[in-house]
Amino acid sequence: MDQQEPYGTTGRDERAGVAATAVLAAAVDRQQAMTRFLRALVSIETPSVEPSTIEAAFDLLREGLEAAGMHCRRRSGSETAGFLLARPRRAGREELQLLLGHCDTVWPVGTLEQMPIRITDGRMHGPGVYDMKAGLTHTVFALRLLHDLGLEPQVAPVVLINADEEIGSKESERFIRRLARMANRTLVMEPSLTPSGKLKTARKGVAQYHILVKGRAAHAGLNPEQGVSAILELSILVQRLFGLNDPDRGISVNVGTIEGGLRPNVIAPESSAWVDVRAPTREDARRIDAVIRNLRPSNPEVQVEIQAAVARQPMEPTAASHSLWLAARRLAEELGFEIQEGMAGGGSDGNITCTLSPTLDGLGAVGDGAHAAHEYVDLNQMAQRTALLALLIMEPPLDPSPPTPTAGDTGSGSSRAFPPVHPTPC
């Protein structure tokens, strides 16, 4: 992209005279405290599906945010642990910026026994350390060092930490949307992209489909001709689904699990599959969604039911989000390092906010291994990334013009690239 003056910013001279060197020095001084906080947070196992385990993590985060001069309140969910909301104690009616993260992980209770926290060669390993408890640590300490330095952002920071992101943010999404609509910008503390630490300026959309095939049972030896095999029909559909892959366009369609049949000597009356779809643009998402929803069986005696179970829209760059990225790149240069941007194949809550406010994602840890046994963060880059976040928080407001959504997308959730969840029989 071009190097012109960032859209919607007022320039570096109006950032309240904040010196990058002073902010970085303050972050370096807090390196050991950050490491202790992160270790304590990782030591609390927080699987999304066990809400009771997450309260201790919220208590630790509340303590850290209150030390930064924030007022915190908890909202419980009906099926999840809900979320923690924090805003400045003296918050008035000024503009706000949304700092977004999650404290739930994919790891079940007991994982620490097989993946204990350890620090080797400047890396901390442990379940959830990279995705995304280090990003939460950055958030707490960026706000604390600004508070300790007596620096007050022009745009009030509001923090929302949810506990259901790894399972689709079904309960917290409406609150995220409400805040994002009011926000001048949204900063997402998900981990950076690859060990090189790229910020995420785009994300693929994600959808999952459940395909149920219904045939007719019969004895495999006595009267197989009277049966209609659901497994055979599903195998044909699976090949058609894999044919939708388009690596050059960044489109992936994966049949991840298959179930079906009763016994080896019975013609299978039912079979089913779960399908994962990733698409970089709303146009691609709509096209693939239409193809999948219109799959028809080759055998007229077979019934196929298709239902979308999870959907997150692509996070596509806008002029306003590009200006936010340019600001981050400039601030990194002031701090003495370079950053790059990239597209992530996975979804985050940034996919929710991107059509509602300018969004920059990947401001969390540098490391690798999300959802993997080798998960780690680079402790040597924590101070730099915390300082970068602090300086971004201190940036003046972006131009109030909203991000430009793709045609037909109002950002309200009523018009989506991946349509709302509903069964599609055929």
Smallest CA-to-CA distance from 342 within 248, 204, 202 is with: 202
157-206: pLDDT as tens digits: 999 999 999 999 999 999 999 999 999 999 999 999 999 999 999 999 99
Residue 117 has pLDDT above 60, yes or no: yes
88: tokens are 């400045």
Best mean pLDDT range from 16-30, 333-347, 408-422: 333-347
200-242: pLDDT as tens digits: 999 999 999 999 999 999 999 999 999 999 999 999 999 999 9
Distance CA 400, CA 184 (A): 7
Burial 332-341 (b: 16+ CB within 10 A, else e): bebbeeebeb
385-394: pLDDT as tens digits: 999 999 999 9
Radius of gyration of the chain (CA): 24
Residue 281 has pLDDT above 60, yes or no: yes
- Secondary structure of residue 288 in the 3-state scheme: helix
The pLDDT value recorded for residue 399 is 81
The pLDDT value recorded for residue 10 is 40
308-329 average pLDDT score: 93
The pLDDT value recorded for residue 311 is 81
If one compares 92 and 324, the residue with the highest pLDDT of the two is: 324
The pLDDT value recorded for residue 35 is 98
Supply φ then ψ for residue 344, to 5 degrees.
-100, 140
Q: How confident is the model at residue 63 (pLDDT cuts 50, 70, 90)?
A: very high
List of residues 6+ apart from 289 with CB closer than 8 A: 207, 277, 308, 417, 418, 419
Query: If you write DSSP's letter for every residue of 124-167 in order, what string do you get?
Result: EE-TTIIIIIHHHHHHHHHHHHHHHTT---SSEEEEEEES-GGG
Residue type, 26: A
pTM of the model: 0.86
413: tokens are 């959730």
Residue where the block lists tokens 């408890």: 133
> What pairs with residue 161 in β-bridges?
84, 101
Residue 412 has pLDDT above 80, yes or no: no
The pLDDT value recorded for residue 3 is 41
The pLDDT value recorded for residue 406 is 44
Residue 415 has pLDDT above 90, yes or no: no
307-316 average pLDDT score: 89
The pLDDT value recorded for residue 401 is 60
SS (H, E, C) 195-249: CCCEEEEEECEEEEEEEEEECECCECCCCHHHCECHHHHHHHHHHHHHCCCEHHH
Q: How confident is the model at residue 426 (pLDDT cuts 50, 70, 90)?
A: very low
10-32: pLDDT as tens digits: 444 445 447 899 999 999 999 99
Q: How confident is the model at residue 403 (pLDDT cuts 50, 70, 90)?
A: low
If one compares 416 and 260, the residue with the highest pLDDT of the two is: 260
Long-range contacts at 11-20 (CB < 8 A, ≥ 24 apart)? 12/330, 12/334, 14/396, 15/391, 15/394, 15/395, 15/396, 16/151, 16/154, 16/394, 18/151, 18/391, 18/394, 20/331, 20/334, 20/335, 20/387, 20/391
Q: How confident is the model at residue 408 (pLDDT cuts 50, 70, 90)?
A: very low
Distance CA 395, CA 358 (A): 14
253-266 average pLDDT score: 98
Distance CA 395, CA 154 (A): 7
The pLDDT value recorded for residue 91 is 64
Q: How confident is the model at residue 90 (pLDDT cuts 50, 70, 90)?
A: confident
Q: Are 215 and 267 in contact (CB under 8 A)?
A: yes
372: tokens are 């993997």
> Domains in the chain and their CATH numbers?
12-203+314-393 (3.40.630.10), 205-313+412-425 (3.30.70.360)
Residue where the block lists tokens 């009267």: 223
Q: How confident is the model at residue 400 (pLDDT cuts 50, 70, 90)?
A: low
Supply φ then ψ for residue 266, to 5 degrees.
-125, 130
94-119 average pLDDT score: 97
